[in-house]
């Protein structure tokens, strides 16, 4: 019995799609309130995650078992520059400028890949983040 050459390719493509891809919603499930940015990660992030908004490092509340999104609340409307980094993950986009409208929040899909940047020993502790008044950043499931 001979198979058409495309059949094994379709079986492999289907298996790769089923085993390797997870669905990330392209739009939020519920409306995002004004003054909020949500970074939705494509895979679970173990952390610690570091976030800088407009040149100021924000303290990020970490979760012990990882998170799928980062919620930044209390931002004023207008343009904001961000920089997102971690010792265990890489992000894309990891920096950029977002224009936050006055009437609703922003939802940003962020591609995530696991990467351990410390080869031996424990990573150096990071200095405490100074933060911005009224702005909070929290990892969420």
Please report the DSSP string for 38-84 in residue order: EEEEEEEE-S-EEEEETTEEEPEE--TT-EEEEEEE-PPSEEEEEEE
Asked whether residue 8 is domain-assigned, the answer is no
DSSP 8-state assignment for residue 133: T
Q: Could you give the CA distance from residue 55 to residue 72 in angstroms, rounded to a whole number?
A: 15
Asked whether residue 99 is domain-assigned, the answer is yes
Counted domains in the chain: 1
Asked whether residue 10 is domain-assigned, the answer is no
Please report, for the domain that includes residue 40, its CATH number.
2.60.40
Asked whether residue 18 is domain-assigned, the answer is no
pLDDT of res. 77: 94
pLDDT of res. 96: 93
Q: What mean pLDDT comes out for the span 117-139?
A: 76
Residue 41 pLDDT greater than 60, yes or no = yes
Q: What mean pLDDT comes out for the span 118-141?
A: 78
Q: What mean pLDDT comes out for the span 20-41?
A: 84
Residue 141 pLDDT greater than 60, yes or no = yes
Asked whether residue 90 is domain-assigned, the answer is yes
Asked whether residue 61 is domain-assigned, the answer is yes
Residue 104 structural domain: 25-118+126-140
CA of residue 63 relative to chain centroid, distance:
14
Asked whether residue 104 is domain-assigned, the answer is yes
Q: For residue range 44-100, list pLDDT tens digits in order.
A: 998 788 999 998 999 999 888 889 999 999 999 999 999 999 888 899 888 999 999
pTM for the whole structure: 0.77
Q: For residue range 93-127, list pLDDT tens digits in order.
A: 889 999 999 999 999 999 999 886 666 667 677 77
Asked whether residue 50 is domain-assigned, the answer is yes
């Amino acid at each position: 019995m001979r198979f058409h050459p495309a059949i094994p390719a379709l079986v492999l493509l289907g298996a790769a799609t089923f085993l390797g891809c997870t669905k990330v919603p392209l739009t939020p499930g519920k409306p995002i309130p004004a003054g909020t940015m949500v970074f939705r990660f494509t895979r679970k992030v173990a952390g610690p995650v570091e976030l800088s908004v407009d040149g100021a490092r924000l303290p990020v509340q970490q979760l012990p078992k990882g998170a799928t999104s980062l919620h930044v609340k209390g931002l004023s409307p207008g343009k904001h520059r961000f920089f997102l980094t971690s010792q265990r993950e890489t992000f894309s986009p990891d920096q950029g400028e977002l224009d936050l409208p006055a009437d609703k929040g922003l939802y940003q899909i962020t591609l995530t890949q696991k990467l351990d940047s410390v080869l031996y020993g424990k990573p150096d502790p990071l200095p405490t983040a100074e933060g911005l008044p009224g702005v909070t950043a929290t990892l969420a499931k």
